[in-house]
Structure formats: structure tokens, C-alpha cells
């Protein structure tokens, strides 16, 4: 089946640090990649949608200058949490999709802890 690799799986860092998370589709071309945030015991919250070569579309309430998304190729998207603060601590999950109407395949997620 389709494989999506997400790194790192866990990050612990000091407040003010910027953190980059990578999401790669290993065996298919991901026309669209999605970035989600999930708080404990809650559903997935879509942060942004990115199409290869285009600017990401951010959901309402998500700061685009805070969460920088780059989707430079059909197999790689990155999310950079800039100047992270404790309230940014969360579980971040990426997913990738080939064509429209196809299912999303998820990475393993990144657990971000800001001290």
C-alpha cells in the first residue's frame, strides 16, 4: 500500500526554536498534501492543504507566518513551526493524496513538545 514517511517522530526543544517537519510519499506522487494538528483525545484539525508548486491554503485561524508550508516536489512537503512556544506543543500529522477522490495516506505523526 501507499507509504508516507514523516520525520522526526518526536521533538523536544526550547521556546523560541523553529522546528521543521518533513513529510514524504515514498511510493506514489502526492499531488496534494495535508497538515493536521491533533490535541489529546480530539479529532484531527486540518491546518492547511498544499498542492505541489503552489502556495498552501490555510484553514481559518491558522497563522501562515507561524506555520510555514513548502511543497516543492510531488514527494515532499515540509511544515516549519517558527519561533515555537509551549502552546504549539501538539501532535502534527501529515497526509498525502495522489489524485482527487483518492484516500489520504498518513505519516506516523510528529509529537512536538516545547519547553
Partner 1 sequence: GQQVMQIPQYQHVQEGEDFTTYCNSSTTLSNIQWYKQRPGGHPVFLIQLVKSGEVKKQKRLTFQFGEAKKNSSLHITATQTTDVGTYFCAGTDSNYQLIWGAGTKLIIKP
Q: List contacts with partner 1 (CB under 8 A).
A: 34, 41, 43-44, 46, 93, 95, 100-101, 103-109
Q: How far is the CB of 93 from partner 1 (least distance, A)?
A: 6
Closer Cβ to partner 1, 10 or 85, answer by number: 10
Shortest Å distance, C-beta 87 to partner 1: 22
DSSP letters for the chain: ---EEEE-SEEEE-TT--EEEEEEESSS--SEEEEEEE-TTS-EEEEEEEETTSPPEEPTT--TTTEEEEEEETTEEEEEETT--GGG-EEEEEEEESSTTSPPEE---EEEEE-
Q: Which is nearer to partner 1, 62 or 106 (CB)?
A: 106
**Which is nearer to partner 1, 8 or 16 (by Cβ)?**
8
Smallest gap from Cβ 95 to partner 1, in A, equals 8
Amino acid at each position: 500500500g501507499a507509504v508516507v514517511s514523516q520525520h522526526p517522530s518526536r521533538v523536544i526543544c526550547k521556546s523560541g526554536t523553529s522546528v521543521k517537519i518533513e513529510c514524504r510519499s515514498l511510493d506514489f506522487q502526492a499531488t496534494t498534501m495535508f497538515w493536521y494538528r491533533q490535541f489529546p483525545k480530539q479529532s484531527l484539525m486540518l491546518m492547511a492543504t498544499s498542492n505541489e508548486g503552489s502556495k498552501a491554503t490555510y484553514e481559518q485561524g491558522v497563522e501562515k507566518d507561524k506555520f510555514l508550508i513548502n511543497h516543492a516536489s510531488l514527494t515532499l512537503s515540509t511544515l516549519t513551526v517558527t519561533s515555537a512556544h509551549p502552546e504549539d506543543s501538539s501532535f502534527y500529522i501529515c497526509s498525502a493524496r495522489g489524485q482527487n477522490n483518492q484516500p489520504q495516506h498518513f505519516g506516523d505523526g510528529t509529537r512536538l513538545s516545547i519547553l
